[in-house]
Chains A and B, each alone.
Chain A
Amino acid sequence: NAGVTQTPKFRVLKTGQSMTLLCAQDMNHEYMYWYRQDPGMGLRLIHYSVGEGTTAKGEVPDGYNVSRLKKQNFLLGLESAAPSQTSVYFCASSPSGGRFYEQYFGPGTRLTVT
C-alpha cells in the first residue's frame, strides 16, 4: 500500500497564480484533512472532509478551496496565491468514528509564493 501520497512535492508560485494540490489515499478512509505547517507553529487545519462529496472549514480556510469528488482523493486549491500561503502542506486521512485521531499523513508539499 502506498498510504497517503501528495502531488507535487515542491512548487514555487508567483503572487496571484493558482494551483491545485492533490492528495490520494488507498486505505479506504472516510475522513481526509488538509493542514499547513509553519515554523514555530503546530499544524493548523485548513479544511477537512468526512466523506465523499462533503467538505468543511477548519481553523484557517481563507484563501483555499477543496473538493472530494472521489473517496480516495482530496484536492486543495489556491485561487490567487499570496506570500502568506508560503508553507508546507500536509494531507492526512483517518478512519471514521472513534479512531479518527489515527491520522495517516502524506510526505508534504513545500509551497513558496514569491
Chain B
Amino acid sequence: GNSVTQMEGPVTLSEEAFLTINCTYTATGYPSLFWYVQYPGEGLQLLLKATKADDKGSNKGFEATYRKETTSFHLEKGSVQVSDSAVYFCAHLGGTGGYNKLIFGAGTRLAVHP
C-alpha cells in the first residue's frame, strides 16, 4: 500500500552544518511529493513540493529532488540555522475512491545548536 518512510530522529546539528533528511515512498505511479515543517507549538506548514520526476522543490534554502528511480525525496539544506529546529514531514499524494489525500511519514525532529 501507499506509505512514506523517513529517517528516525532526532537529528542534531551545529549551526551552519549540512542537513540531509532521507525520505522514501511507496505508491502507485508517480505521485506529487511534499515536505511539511512543524515549528514548536505550531501546526504543519507546506515547505516545498515536486509534482513530477526530476523536479526540484525549493524554499527557504531547503531543496528536495524527486528521484523516481529510487522513489526518494530527500530534504537538504547547505547551512542550517537554529531557527530551522522543527519536525519535518515527508508526504505524498495517494488514496482511492476518487479522493486524493496526503500520506505522511512519521516525521523527523531536527535540533540545531549554536
Contacts and interface: CB of A to CB of B under 8 A. Distances in A.
Interface of B: 4, 32, 34, 38, 41-46, 49, 89, 91, 93, 99-107
Interface string A59-103: 000000000000000000000000000000010100000001111
Contacts of A107: 41-43
Nearest to A102: B46
A100 B100 contact: yes
Interface of B is mostly: strand
Nearest to B49: A101
Given A101-B49, A101-B93, A45 B101 contact: yes
Interface residues of A, number: 21
Contact of B103 (A42, A92, A105, A108): A42
Contacts of A4: 43
Interface of A: 4, 40-45, 48, 56, 58, 90, 92, 100-108
B7 to A, nearest CB: 13
